[in-house]
Amino acid sequence: MPGLAATFAAAPGLTAGIAAAPQAARGAVELITEEAGIVPPAGPALRVVPLVEEGAQVAQGAPVLQLRDAPGVVFCAPMPARVAAIRLAPGRKLAEIVLFHDPGGDRHRHTPPAAADQGSGPAVRALIQAAGLWPSLRRRPFGGMPDAAERPAAIFVMAADTRPMAPDPLQALAGQDEALARGLRALTVLAQGPVYLVTPHGSTVPVPDVDGVQRLTAGPRHPQGLAGFRQHAACPATLDAPVWDLHAEDAAAFGALLDTGLVPRTRLVRVDGPALRESRLVHTQPGADLRGLAQGLARPGAHLVLAGSPLEGRAAHWLGPRDRQVSVLPRDPAPAPPHWFRAALTRSARPTPVIPTAALTQAFGAALPAAALVRALASGDDETAMRLGVLSLLEEDVALADYVLGGAAGLQGLLRGMLDRIAAEYAP
C-alpha cells in the first residue's frame, strides 16, 4: 500500500499519497464500451423479475427487469443493445445482465408528468422508478437502495467529491444548470425535510430559489466530500428517520428526465491509477466494461481493476449504479504462506491495538471522536457506536481511517458487521 502523505492545514482531512497517472492532454471524451452489465447497487440482494429474454433487442432506457416485491422499480438498459445473458443467483436475486452494444439502436422515451403534476411526490417517484434511476439513490442507515415508498428526513445532493483521483462533479454539471434546478425541485417533493446541495467551498453552482433547497459546503481534503460526514453534521440518520444521498449528476438526470422523458446516455467517469500510463476522463454509459474503459492505458504487468476509488473500490467487471471512478492498481505478488507454527501464533494473537493519532482524527474529518468510535467498532459496542453517529456512516466513510492504519484494523468490515447486526436487532 502506498505511503500516506498527510497534509494538515486549517481545513480538516488528509491528502492520501496515492500516485495518480499523468493526466491526458485532451479533455473528456465519449466512450461507449461494446459490452455493459446491469448489476445491483451495494446493499441487500434484490429479488427480480426479468422483463426481457436473452437475445432480445432493447432500446437505451427501456425496462429490462423489475423488483419482485416492488414492480414499479425497474432497471433499464444503459445503451441500445442485445441481451447476451441474464444471470440470477439462488432465490431469483439479481447477479448481472450482460448487454452487447447495438450502435444503431433506439432510445426509449418515458412519459413525464404534466408540468402541473411535477410537484406531486407520487408522480415524480413513479417516473424515477420506472425510468431505472431509483438505484442512484442511497439510504442511511445501513446503505442500499431506498424502499419504493420510503420518505427520507433529508436528501443530500453531492456536488463535491474528495476521494483520491475522483472526477470533479462540477465538470459533470457543466451546462446542466436548468436540469439540476429541475431535479432539485423534484427531490423536494420526495423528502419530508430539506434537500441539501453540497458544493466545494467557493463554488458558484447556482442553487434554485425553491423552498426546501439549501447549500452546504465541503472542505478540500478527504473525507470532507463524503455524504456521511455532511449528514452527520447537518441531519444525522436515525433508525426511524432515514437520510438519502445521490450524486449531483444524477439529480440533473432526474431533471432531464422530467423535461424530455429521456434517460441521459452517459455519466462522467475518471479512469486513473498508478498502473496506468495516463489517466482518462470519459463520458460513458452506466454499467460500462471497466476493462474497455482502461484499454490501451495500462503499464505492463499484473493489474487490479477496481470500481470506485483506491481506498474503498471493489474488484468488478462492470461500473456500478453509483460508480464514477475506475482505479487501476499494480497487483502485488501473493506472499509465500507462513510456516504453520507462525500462522497458528498469529491467529491466536490479540488484535493489533489502534493507537489514537492526529492522522486518525483527521481521517474522520475531525467530525467524530475517532478513538472512541474505533474502540466501539472493534469491541462490537453497538449502543455506544450509535450514540457516536455510526448510523450516518458507510464503508466509504471509514476507508481513509483504514488506509491510515495500514488496513490492520479492518474498519470497513467491522462497520458492515455492526450495521447488519443493528439492522437485525434494532431496525423497525
Per-residue pLDDT of 133-142, as tens digits, reads 999 999 999 9
Report pLDDT for 267.
98
Report pLDDT for 346.
59
Report pLDDT for 210.
81
The grid cell for 299 is 503499464
Name the DSSP letter for residue 77: -
DSSP string, 175-228: T-HHHHHHHHHHHHTT-SS-EEEEEETT--------TTEEEEEE-SSBTTTSHH
Report pLDDT for 269.
98
Q: Which residue has the higher pLDDT, 103 or 355?
A: 103
386: number of Cβ within 10 Å: 17
**Is pLDDT of 333 > 80?**
no
Report pLDDT for 38.
98
Taking residues 40-66, report their average pLDDT: 97
Per-residue pLDDT band for 206 (boundaries 50, 70, 90) equals confident
> Residue 58 pairs with which residues in a beta bridge?
81
Decide which of 3.40.190.10, 2.40.50.100, 1.10.40.60, 2.60.120.1440 is the CATH code for 31-107.
2.40.50.100
Taking residues 217-224, report their average pLDDT: 94
Q: Which residue has the higher pLDDT, 1 or 349?
A: 349
Taking residues 226-237, report their average pLDDT: 96
**Is pLDDT of 98 > 50?**
yes
**Terminal-to-terminal C-alpha distance of the chain:** 40
To the nearest 10 degrees (0 to 180), the angle between helices 227-234 and 395-404 is: 110
Q: Which residue has the higher pLDDT, 16 or 195?
A: 195
Taking residues 391-402, report their average pLDDT: 96
Nearest Cα to Cα of residue 64 among 51, 53, 54, 73: 51
The grid cell for 313 is 473500490
Distances (CA, A) of 65 to 42, 72, 88, 190, 409: 17, 10, 11, 24, 39
Rounded to 5 degrees, φ, ψ at 178 are -70, -40
- The Cα–Cα gap between 317 and 306 comes to 8
Rounded to 5 degrees, φ, ψ at 329 are -115, 150
Q: So where are the chain's domains?
A: 1-29+270-333, 31-107, 109-264, 340-425
Indicate the residue type of 12.
Answer: P
- The Cα–Cα gap between 177 and 101 comes to 30
Report pLDDT for 3.
41
Per-residue pLDDT band for 205 (boundaries 50, 70, 90) equals confident
Report pLDDT for 80.
98
Per-residue pLDDT band for 19 (boundaries 50, 70, 90) equals confident
Report pLDDT for 332.
76
In this predicted model, what pLDDT tens digit does every residue of 142-199 receive, in sequence order? 999 999 999 999 999 999 999 999 999 999 999 999 999 999 999 999 999 999 999 9
Report pLDDT for 272.
96
- Mean pLDDT of the residues in the chain: 91
**Is pLDDT of 9 > 70?**
no
Taking residues 348-372, report their average pLDDT: 80
Per-residue pLDDT band for 256 (boundaries 50, 70, 90) equals very high
- The Cα–Cα gap between 281 and 266 comes to 12
CB 283 within 8 A of CB 267: yes
**Is pLDDT of 364 > 70?**
yes
Report pLDDT for 8.
37
Per-residue pLDDT band for 395 (boundaries 50, 70, 90) equals very high
Q: Which residue has the higher pLDDT, 337 or 122?
A: 122
The grid cell for 160 is 463535491
Name the DSSP letter for residue 107: B
Taking residues 58-76, report their average pLDDT: 98
Report pLDDT for 136.
97
Sign of the four-CA dihedral 356, 357, 360, 362: positive
**C-alpha torsion angle, residues 288, 290, 291, 295 (rounded to 10):** 80
Taking residues 253-280, report their average pLDDT: 96
CB 210 within 8 A of CB 282: no
Taking residues 273-284, report their average pLDDT: 95
- The Cα–Cα gap between 116 and 96 comes to 38
Taking residues 77-98, report their average pLDDT: 97
Report pLDDT for 115.
74
Report pLDDT for 27.
85
